């Protein structure tokens, strides 16, 4: 499978489903390919969720272990990326009681995660400033925003991952992007006297 981003989302999804089916059939090569294809984005997502890069690597491995244990629970009718991201999110929630931690971390403004910058705002400021502003957003908005604008999930997929309606997922992302733009605009104008 092409590891680059040359494939269209539909073809990439079809190829990932084939790999998952081969992996369910007992192919270690299929697992390696799935790992190679999914791990980089998954690591960024877990880092984004945990804000702690040391723990993030462990959690990514734990997520892949959980994928392995639960591989029978994957049904080929599901798209692979949302399933894997959703499972990784569950692992983070279960292991870290993450929701409260994220809220605390957001409030404390700890290390800004190295997530890609959403294309919708990349023209507005330097990448570090965007990441810093992103880290100041409410956790639910920041997550919906990055899942859609950075990792390219559809709102119905995000809804299934977060346990909200697609309308709510869209609203969170759009509130997040509006707040992010406003923060970046303020930053451009400089500190208020």
> Which residues of the shown chain bind another protein in the complex (CB under 8 A)?
3, 21, 24-26, 28, 31-32, 35-36, 39-40, 43, 57, 60-61, 64-66, 68, 70-79, 82-87, 89-91, 93-95, 157, 159-165, 168
47 vs 18, 26, 132, 186, CA distance in Å? 28, 30, 14, 27
CB closer to another protein, 87 vs 184: 87
3-class SS of residue 173: helix
**Residue 58 in tokens:** 């462990």
Q: Which is nearer to another protein, 68 or 186 (CB)?
A: 68
Nearer to another protein, 48 or 85 (CB): 85
* Residue placing its CB nearer to another protein in the complex, 24 or 120: 24
Q: How far is the CB of 181 from another protein (least distance, A)?
A: 27
Mutual angle of helices 53-69 and 28-50, in 10-degree steps = 140
Residue (of 52, 51, 17, 57) closest to 37 by Cα position: 17
Query: Tokens standing for 100?
Result: 């409260």
CA dihedral 160, 117, 185, 53 (to 10 degrees): 90
Alpha carbon distance 149, 31 (integer Å): 27
Burial class for 48, CB neighbours closer than 10 Å (0-12, 13-18, 19+): buried
Q: CB nearer to another protein: give 7 or 162.
A: 162
- Of 69 and 189, CB closest to another protein: 69
**Tokens encoding 157:** 């997929």
Query: Measured from the CB of residue 10, what is the shortest distance to another protein in angstroms?
Result: 17
- The pair of structure tokens assigned to 172 is 């969170």
Report the nearest approach of another protein to the CB of residue 184 (Å): 29
- Supply the minimum distance, in Å, between the C-beta of residue 192 and another protein: 38
Give min distance, CB of 122 to another protein, in A.
22
**Least distance in Å: CB of 188 to another protein?**
34
């Amino acid at each position: 499978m092409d590891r680059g981003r040359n494939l269209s989302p539909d073809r990439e999804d079809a190829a990932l489903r084939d790999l998952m089916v081969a992996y369910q059939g007992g192919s270690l090569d299929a697992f390696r390919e799935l790992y190679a294809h999914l791990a980089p984005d998954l690591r960024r997502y877990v880092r984004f969720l945990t804000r702690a890069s040391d723990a993030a690597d462990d959690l990514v491995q734990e997520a892949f272990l959980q994928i392995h244990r639960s591989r029978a629970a994957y049904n080929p009718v599901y798209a692979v990326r949302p399933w894997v991201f959703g499972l990784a999110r569950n692992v983070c929630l279960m292991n870290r009681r993450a929701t409260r931690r994220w809220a605390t971390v957001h409030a404390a403004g700890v290390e800004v995660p190295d997530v890609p910058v959403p294309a919708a705002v990349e023209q507005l400021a330097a990448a570090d400033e965007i990441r810093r502003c992103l880290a100041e957003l409410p956790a639910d908005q920041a997550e919906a925003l990055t899942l859609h604008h950075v990792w390219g999930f559809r709102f119905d997929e995000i809804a299934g991952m977060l346990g909200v309606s697609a309308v709510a997922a869209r609203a969170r992302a759009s509130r997040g992007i509006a707040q992010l733009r406003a923060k970046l605009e303020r930053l451009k104008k400089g500190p208020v006297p």
